[in-house]
Amino acid sequence: MHPAQLQSSIFDTIDGLPIHPLAVHVAVVLLPLSAIALALLIFVPKWRKAYLPLTLVGLAIATVFTFIAKESGEALGDRVGEPQTHEDLGGILFPAAVGLLAVGVAFYFLEKSDKPKWVIQATAGVAIAAILSVSTLTYFVGHTGAEATWSKRIGPVDAIPTPTPTPTDTETPGTGITAAEVATHNKSTDCWIIIKSDVYDLASYIQQHPGGAGVLTNLCGKDATQAFDSQHSTEMAPASALAALKIGTIEEIPTATPTPTATPTPTPTKTTPKPSAKSYTTAQVATHKTGSDCWSIINKKVYNLTSYVSNHPGGTAVISAICGKDGTSAFSGQHSGEATPTSVLSGLLIGTLATSTTTDPAPVAKTYTSAQVASHNSASSCWGVVNNNVYDLTSYISSHPGGSSAINALCGKDATSAFTGQHGGESSPTNVLASFKLGTLSGTNTLDTAQGEEEEED
More confident residue, 156 or 397: 397
**Beta pairing class for 349-353 and 301-304:** antiparallel
Residue 257: inside a domain: no
**Mean pLDDT to the nearest integer, 90-104:** 87
Are residues 18 and 122 located together in one domain of the fold? yes
- pLDDT the model gives residue 317: 76
The enclosing domain of 222 has a CATH number of 3.10.120.10
Split at pLDDT 50, 70, 90, the class of 442 is very high
* Position 113, amino acid: S
**Averaged confidence pLDDT in the chain:** 77
% residues pLDDT > 70 (the chain): 76
- pLDDT the model gives residue 82: 59
Q: Is the pLDDT of residue 407 over 70?
A: yes
Residue 270: inside a domain: no
Q: Is the pLDDT of residue 159 over 90?
A: no
- pLDDT the model gives residue 145: 77
Are residues 92 and 217 located together in one domain of the fold? no
More confident residue, 126 or 318: 126
Tens-place pLDDT, residues 349-383: 888 888 765 555 555 668 999 999 999 999 889 99
- pLDDT the model gives residue 309: 78
Which residues lie closer than 8 Å to 244 by C-beta, 6 or more apart? Answer: 152, 153
Q: Is the pLDDT of residue 229 over 50?
A: yes
* Cα(176)–Cα(196) distance, integer angstroms: 13
Contact 285, 324 (CB under 8 A): yes
Residue 74: inside a domain: yes
Residue 358: inside a domain: no
Are residues 40 and 143 located together in one domain of the fold? yes
- Give, in order, the Cα–Cα distances in Å from 43 to each of 47, 118, 124, 125: 9, 15, 9, 11
Residue ranges in 81-172 assigned as alpha helix (H): 84-112, 117-150
Q: Is the pLDDT of residue 318 over 50?
A: yes
Using alpha carbons only, how large is the chain's radius of gyration in Å? 31
The 3-state DSSP class for residue 189 equals: coil
- pLDDT the model gives residue 240: 75
- pLDDT the model gives residue 175: 52
Q: Is the pLDDT of residue 132 over 70?
A: yes
* Cα(220)–Cα(327) distance, integer angstroms: 25
- pLDDT the model gives residue 57: 93
Are residues 375 and 329 located together in one domain of the fold? no
Are residues 333 and 401 located together in one domain of the fold? no
Are residues 335 and 239 located together in one domain of the fold? no
- Tell which of 134, 150, 166 closes a domain: 150
Q: Is the pLDDT of residue 313 over 90?
A: no
Give the total number of structural domains in the chain: 4
**Mean pLDDT to the nearest integer, 175-192:** 86
Residue 402: inside a domain: yes
- Tell which of 328, 353, 378 closes a domain: 353
Q: Write down how long the chain is.
A: 458
Are residues 104 and 126 located together in one domain of the fold? yes
Tens-place pLDDT, residues 233-277: 666 677 777 888 888 888 754 444 444 555 555 555 444 444 455
Q: Is the pLDDT of residue 174 over 50?
A: no
- pLDDT the model gives residue 357: 52
Q: Is the pLDDT of residue 149 over 80?
A: no
Question: Exposure of 316 by Cβ count < 10 A (0-12 exposed, 13-18 middle, 19+ buried)?
Answer: middle
The 3-state DSSP class for residue 293 equals: strand
Are residues 123 and 233 located together in one domain of the fold? no
- pLDDT the model gives residue 369: 93
- pLDDT the model gives residue 83: 67
Q: Is the pLDDT of residue 32 over 80?
A: yes
**Mean pLDDT to the nearest integer, 15-33:** 82
- pLDDT the model gives residue 390: 93
Are residues 25 and 92 located together in one domain of the fold? yes
Distance of CA 247 to the CA centre of its chain: 24
Split at pLDDT 50, 70, 90, the class of 223 is confident
Contact 308, 212 (CB under 8 A): yes
Q: Which residues are bridge partners to 164 per DSSP? A: none
Residue ranges in 287-338 assigned as alpha helix (H): 316-320, 328-335
- Give, in order, the Cα–Cα distances in Å from 407 to each of 328, 330, 377: 24, 18, 11
- Give, in order, the Cα–Cα distances in Å from 431 to each of 303, 331, 381: 19, 8, 21
Q: Is the pLDDT of residue 281 over 70?
A: yes
Are residues 219 and 324 located together in one domain of the fold? no
DSSP state of 250: B
Helices 225-232 + 236-243 axis angle, to 10 = 140
Split at pLDDT 50, 70, 90, the class of 400 is confident
- pLDDT the model gives residue 158: 47
**What residue numbers bound the domain in which 383 lies?**
367-457
- Tell which of 322, 353, 384 closes a domain: 353
- pLDDT the model gives residue 276: 52
Question: Exposure of 302 by Cβ count < 10 A (0-12 exposed, 13-18 middle, 19+ buried)?
Answer: buried
Q: Which residues are bridge partners to 349 per DSSP? A: 303
Tens-place pLDDT, residues 413-438: 999 888 888 887 777 777 788 878 88
Residue 268: inside a domain: no
Which residues lie closer than 8 Å to 428 by C-beta, 6 or more apart? Answer: 333, 334
Residue 414: inside a domain: yes
Contact 412, 375 (CB under 8 A): yes
- pLDDT the model gives residue 454: 46
Are residues 13 and 137 located together in one domain of the fold? yes
Are residues 11 and 138 located together in one domain of the fold? yes
Q: Alpha-carbon torsion 341, 347, 348, 352, what sign?
A: positive
**DSSP character string of 190-246:** EEEEEETTEEEE-TTTGGG-TT-HHHHHTTTTSB-HHHHHHHHTT-HHHHHHHHTTE
Residue 83: inside a domain: yes
